[in-house]
Structure 1
Amino acid sequence: MADPAGSRVEFAALARSGGTSLTLGPLDGRYREAVAPLIDFLSEAALNRDRIHVEIEWLIHLTRHSVLPGAGPLQEQQEDELRDIVSTFGADAVSELARIEAETVHDVKAVEYFIGRRLGDIGIGRLKPLVHFGCTSEDVNNLSYALGIKAAVTVTWLPAARALVDAIGDWARATKQTPMLSRTHGQPATPTTLGKEFAVVAHRLTRQLDRIAATEFLGKLNGATGTYSAHYAAVPRVDWQAVSRSFVEGLGLTWNPLTTQIESHDWQAELYSDIARFNRILHNFCTDIWSYISIGYFRQVPVPGATGSSTMPHKINPIRFENAEANLEISSGLLDTLAATLVTSRWQRDLTDSSSQRNIGVALGHSLLAISNVVKGLARLDVAEDVLAADLEANWEVLGEAVQMVMRAESIAGVPGLDDPYERLKDLTRGRRVDGERMKEFVRSLGLSADAEQRLLDLTPGDYTGIAARLVDHLG
């Protein structure tokens, strides 16, 4: 038998040489198209672009506030040329920065040198010492991550999540009158409507999205241990807290006045917990839809040319919802880990966050992929109203609740002979199926008032949905 290790092509070597399809993770390979928008904000290249953005804006901020003698305001053209370094940061610049980092073995220092190389061409070479002035690496990193995460959430993830919730809401409104047998504890129970159940999910998810949309993205710029020591040592006359605050807020972030060397990442932990909770509610929705498909409540619309099963041609597997489940579990697991680890740091600083934060894109990517799968899955469903109706017709015993409540009300009103309503309905319905005629016969035997008796005789399992349809209107 041939030895695969000795005869196979070495994909690792091809990957190192730039093979684009040779990726270790599925988000950068099989599912790249679905998560590509996040690359603009959470890739290593995007992080470096944001670092350059922060460094350049800090340089401009310092010159505008004239905090250092001899470093007065720049010309407008010079500011524009500095910002062009960010706007033109492309493949060649990424490669150049990588070469610098290979020498410095320090990512933020490489950014400082990268910017310094360009100041002479702008006519401000003398301001090279002003790049990274008073900063520790984490001053740049925390702001860069905050900018990238904020953009990733608000520009990409949140709109996709809201579009999904809108689709679930559309299902709720379209099916709010469609009666469906409930299954509490997996057993036939008081009917509802399909739309009301969709509305419950939409409402739950919306609450989480509102929390996520209200996230405070914090940032700090206060030196090696959060004390502004270097700032005051260099220029003691400046109100460095005011300069820091105006800079951080000018980036569109919330200023954190009290930190160690790192911004404490509490806001990140809060955000990831909220997204993980959204994921888990959506996961619950996927398992319910999967189950409804399995009992025939939904029919899946075939995709022309698609294969449902490799050996059973009749099957259409609910793959979109199954894939979503897996990706939501992976995303939530990573988000839980990030939320747990990012709120801790040894003394004034350790580097565990440096490694863990590089997985933020992976965590959000799996969630975004799941959202895409659910949207596509919902688009291929039809409601099997005949199956829902047949299920209701086969379970007249669910009206036992209504009958015993009417008996209670009638007894209180003085109608005799209606003792022990729960026990009498239990004797009638527990452990057996009751058809419509048997239920009506029981109702006629009770001696109810004419009005109450007629209400129950007119009632069917499909009618016994209360105000389920009206409840959908809470979605707006």
Structure 2
Amino acid sequence: MSISSLNAISPIDGRYRNKVEKLSPYFSEEALIKYRVQVEIEYFIALCEAKLPQLADVDPKVFSDLRSVYTSFSSEDAKAIKDIERVTNHDVKAVEYFIKEQFDKLNLSTHKEFIHFGLTSQDINNTAIPLSIKDAMNDVYVPEYFELLKKLKALAEEWSSVPMLARTHGQPASPTRLGKEIQVFVTRLEEQFNLLNDIPSAAKFGGATGNFNAHKVAYPDMDWKTFGTNFVQEKLGLQHSFPTTQIEHYDHMAALFDALKRINTIIIDLDRDIWTYVSMDYFKQKIKKGEVGSSAMPHKVNPIDFENSEGNLGIANAIFEHLAAKLPISRLQRDLTDSTVLRNVGVPFGHTLIGFKSTLKGLNKLLLNVAKFEEDLEKNWAVVAEAIQTILRREGYPNPYEALKGLTRTNEAINQDTISNFIDTLEVSDSIKKELKAISPSNYTGI
């Protein structure tokens, strides 16, 4: 049975495939195989450039043909490697044998034993996977992040002068502005993204237990540490972790996942706030002809995009959390638990992408209900009590907090007249009374 969107087990490969397919070139099985081939090819070229005597006769002109093995890598190539793996029962060894076949085609048969020379599988995995994550971050994640951030910035600007009743502990509080509340999320996201940018994409490269044992015993006079660092950093564009055990220690990768989780958490916070504003009727939602909000209630237009985002980002964070907690822990010089969990690394990226797209879709459907903002402010004149008592404090008026507390902590409605009449009872100058009466819930919004 061939895999389709209807029989896939995971929704990111099924229902949501069209939202995450841009991640396939980085996190699919075929992608991992391609990245492994890339590392193996570049490693062989680096050995040639290091002037190993046995590779002195390799013509540099063949390097472009070698690189085409991975730049022109096809699904058929991936299938061929999987066929080899059915015999070897080892995925990285299958890649090595596949490349040896390509060497035969390029008249490099005498140099085949320098493919994977001195390496262990993790030298390939722990460079291929960080490289794929780095590329996915730059090519897919970052553009999606900035698209969402751009929308939030635009809304913060568009709504910068819209006064809004704030609610702390769910209760009416000092008024704010809608644009400012959106700007809070913009700033939080930007600050976390800056931290994200400081995290290096690290890779391990150093043989079976990280010490270049096989390399040194074969070529004792060569500086293999410098070679490894140059290869990882100059050829692959990653940071060389050294010393390590057989595997990368994953501390930087864990930091990356923690940073991605924090960004997702901020967006979940945004999703819940917007969802609540919709429930308060602060926002209407654009209606698309033919769409159904509820199977039973025809009138409903549900904030499903924000709910979808929250759910997917929650799943992403659960997996990021496990990866960040699990990967840095390995028994002694190596156990296999990192390998199996890393095969899921694309899953949280997929759910994150779905979350980003859903939040953006929801934001694009919002319609500002200005009348509701104004209505809530008008119904809550009690919130200007803070302003009045603060000015009275400035003027040295006795016990202003207590005076306003007595006025406002009541079940009776407080309106503009109530406040105005109270101000008239105050023993302050007419100019102060005028200043106090100029304050309203709509203009008491701070900076």
What is the TM-score normalised by the length of structure 1? 0.92
2:379 corresponds, among 375, 390, 394, to 394
Q: Which moved more, 1:110-119 or 1:448-457?
A: 448-457
SS at match of 1:191: strand
1:245 corresponds, among 215, 229, 254, to 229
Q: Which moved more, 1:50-59 or 1:447-456?
A: 447-456
C-alpha deviations, 1:284-331, integer Å up to 9, x for none?
110000000001000101012111111111110100000001001100
Give how far 1:333 is off. 0.4
Partner residue in 1 for 2:261: 276
Give how far 1:19 is off. 4.8
Q: Which moved more, 1:326-335 or 1:443-452?
A: 443-452
C-alpha deviations, 1:394-432, integer Å up to 9, x for none?
000000100110111111xxxxxx321111111100133
* 1:44 paired to 2:29: yes
2:210 corresponds, among 206, 223, 226, to 226
Q: How far apart are the structure 1 equivalents of 2:173 and 2:350?
A: 38
Q: How far apart are the structure 1 equivalents of 2:410 and 2:245?
A: 65
1:455 corresponds, among 408, 423, 435, to 435
* 1:430 paired to 2:409: yes
Partner residue in 1 for 2:422: 442
Q: How far apart are the structure 2 equivalents of 1:108 and 1:75?
A: 27
Q: How far apart are the structure 1 equivalents of 2:99 and 2:378?
A: 74
Give how far 1:159 is off. 1.6
SS at match of 1:359: coil
SS at match of 1:100: helix
1:265 corresponds, among 231, 250, 264, to 250
Give how far 1:18 is off. 4.6
SS at match of 2:395: helix
Partner residue in 2 for 1:212: 196
The 4+ residue runs of structure 1 with deviation greater than 3 A are 17-21
Can you give the 5+ residue segments of structure 2 that lack an aligned partner in the other structure? none
Aligned pair count?
445
Q: How far apart are the structure 1 equivalents of 2:57 and 2:260?
A: 42
| Paired AA for residue 390 in structure 2 | M
Give how far 1:153 is off. 1.0
Give how far 1:73 is off. 6.2
C-alpha deviations, 1:188-220, integer Å up to 9, x for none?
000000000000011001111112222200112
Give how far 1:263 is off. 0.9
1:175 corresponds, among 145, 148, 159, to 159
Partner residue in 2 for 1:4: none
2:168 corresponds, among 159, 184, 200, to 184
Q: In 2, are the aligned partners of 1:49 and 1:89 still within 8 Å (CA)?
A: yes
| Paired AA for residue 261 in structure 1 | Q
What is the TM-score normalised by the length of structure 2? 0.98
Q: How far apart are the structure 1 equivalents of 2:162 and 2:8?
A: 46
C-alpha deviations, 1:331-375, integer Å up to 9, x for none?
000000000000100000000000111111001110110000000
Q: How far apart are the structure 1 equivalents of 2:28 and 2:334?
A: 24
Identity of aligned residues (%): 40
* 1:310 paired to 2:300: no
Partner residue in 1 for 2:17: 32
Q: In 1, are the aligned partners of 2:5 and 2:13 still within 8 Å (CA)?
A: no
Q: In 1, are the aligned partners of 2:118 and 2:214 still within 8 Å (CA)?
A: yes
Q: In 2, are the aligned partners of 1:65 and 1:73 still within 8 Å (CA)?
A: no
Change (3 A) 1:395 1:275: same
Q: How far apart are the structure 2 equivalents of 1:277 and 1:419?
A: 47
Q: In 2, are the aligned partners of 1:190 and 1:464 still within 8 Å (CA)?
A: yes
* 1:78 paired to 2:72: no
Q: In 1, are the aligned partners of 2:174 and 2:383 still within 8 Å (CA)?
A: yes
| Paired AA for residue 444 in structure 1 | D
* 1:150 paired to 2:134: yes
SS at match of 1:28: coil
Give how far 1:54 is off. 0.2
Aligned positions of 1:291-306 closer than 5 A: 291-306=276-291
| Paired AA for residue 227 in structure 1 | N
Partner residue in 1 for 2:114: 130
C-alpha deviations, 1:131-183, integer Å up to 9, x for none?
00010100010000010000111111122112111111110011010000000
Partner residue in 2 for 1:162: 146
